[in-house]
Amino acid sequence: MIVEFVGTPGAGKTTLATALLALLEERRVAGANVVGAARDHVRRTRPGALLARAAPSPVRDLILWQAFYVLGVAHAVGFAFEHPALVGHAIRSQLRRGLPLRTRIHVLYWFVNLCGRYRFLKATSSEREVLVLDDGFMQRAVHLFASSFDQPDTTRIRAYVDLIPGPDLLVVALAEWRECERRVRERGIWRHARHLSGAQLSLYFEHAEQVVEVATHRAHERGWNLTEVIMDQPGPDGLHAPLARVAASVAGPDAGGGSGGDGG
């Protein structure tokens, strides 16, 4: 099962994803994010199993991570053959943007990484496992279509959502873009965005919120299973009830014991 999170940068997707994984563990449901699943899934392949047995203990984790990277590249090629329209749409969307070439290459690089890692992890997962993505295909829409240089193109965003593989559950982290900007500034601006002026950065967050709204609306139109979590004050007490409902929808009513449910 694949659970994706989407929201304006700074909305609290990673906070939600981490908390959801903890709740799934309480319910005795196997769940992991990309980093947590990477080495374990490499071990499930024949080359990975051989590497895990042969590699010296001090460098085993490093070697398995490098193997994950290589397998991701191979699976990115497979993904491109399986989803040529999606990959082509992503490439064309960057060719048409008025962004510096370096920025467009950066965006496409991480999109291709996602394609490969998504395909590999999905191929090596069992039916009873949950893959939690706080930066999946829906969130990539922000990277592909939001910037401080141009207005988001609604038509391209909707077409992108039509082409991506839909998750089993989409969790939308809701927070007003000004609050998201404040949080990001407080913890530190991303390195690739430090050249932006204050006004440009604010415009980026405003545009990112627009992209999330358009993409989420399109997912709703297509009948995706989605739920919204308000992240105005993302403290643990305020998030327990909505996340417990998300965990219950993922795990099912009969999964595990633990302290699941809406009780505090």
Q: DSSP for 94-156? A: HHTS-S-HHHHHHHHHHHHHHHHHHHHHHHT--TT-EEEESSSHHHHHHHHH--SSS---HHH
Nearest one of 82, 81, 132, 80 to 111, comparing CA atoms: 80
Nearest one of 169, 165, 158, 159 to 217, comparing CA atoms: 158
**pLDDT for 249 beyond 90:** no
Measured in degrees and rounded to the nearest 5, phi and psi for residue 14 equal -65, -40
Q: Residues 252-256: what's their mean pLDDT? A: 55
Neighbours of 112 (CB within 10 A): 19
Q: Are strands 31-32 and 130-133 parallel, antiparallel or unpaired?
A: parallel
CB–CB of 171/244 below 8 Å? no
* pLDDT at residue 201, as a whole number: 85
Q: Residues 223-227: what's their mean pLDDT? A: 92
User: Mind listing the pLDDT tens digit for each residue in 108-130?
Assistant: 999 999 999 999 999 999 888 99
Three-state DSSP at 195 gives coil
- pTM here? 0.88
- Rounded-to-integer distance, Cα 68 and Cα 39, Å: 7
Chain centre to alpha carbon of residue 178: 22
In the predicted model, what is the mean pLDDT of the chain?
87
Neighbours of 193 (CB within 10 A): 14
- Tokens coding 33: 């994010």
* pLDDT at residue 191, as a whole number: 74
**pLDDT for 259 beyond 90:** no
Burial 221-257 (b: 16+ CB within 10 A, else e): eeebebeebebeebeeeebbebbbebbbebbeeebee
**pLDDT for 257 beyond 50:** no
Fold observed for domain 2-250 = Rossmann fold (3.40.50)
**pLDDT for 258 beyond 60:** no
**pLDDT for 236 beyond 60:** no
* pLDDT at residue 163, as a whole number: 98
Looking at per-residue pLDDT, the higher value among 259 and 248 belongs to 248
Chain centre to alpha carbon of residue 115: 11
* pLDDT at residue 237, as a whole number: 54
Give 246's Cβ-side CA count (13 Å radius).
31
**pLDDT for 261 beyond 50:** no
User: Mind listing the pLDDT tens digit for each residue in 160-207?
Assistant: 999 999 999 999 999 999 999 999 888 888 777 777 777 888 999 999
- Rounded-to-integer distance, Cα 51 and Cα 28, Å: 29
Identify the band that residue 15 occupies on the pLDDT scale cut at 50, 70 and 90. Answer: confident
Give 106's Cβ-side CA count (13 Å radius).
9
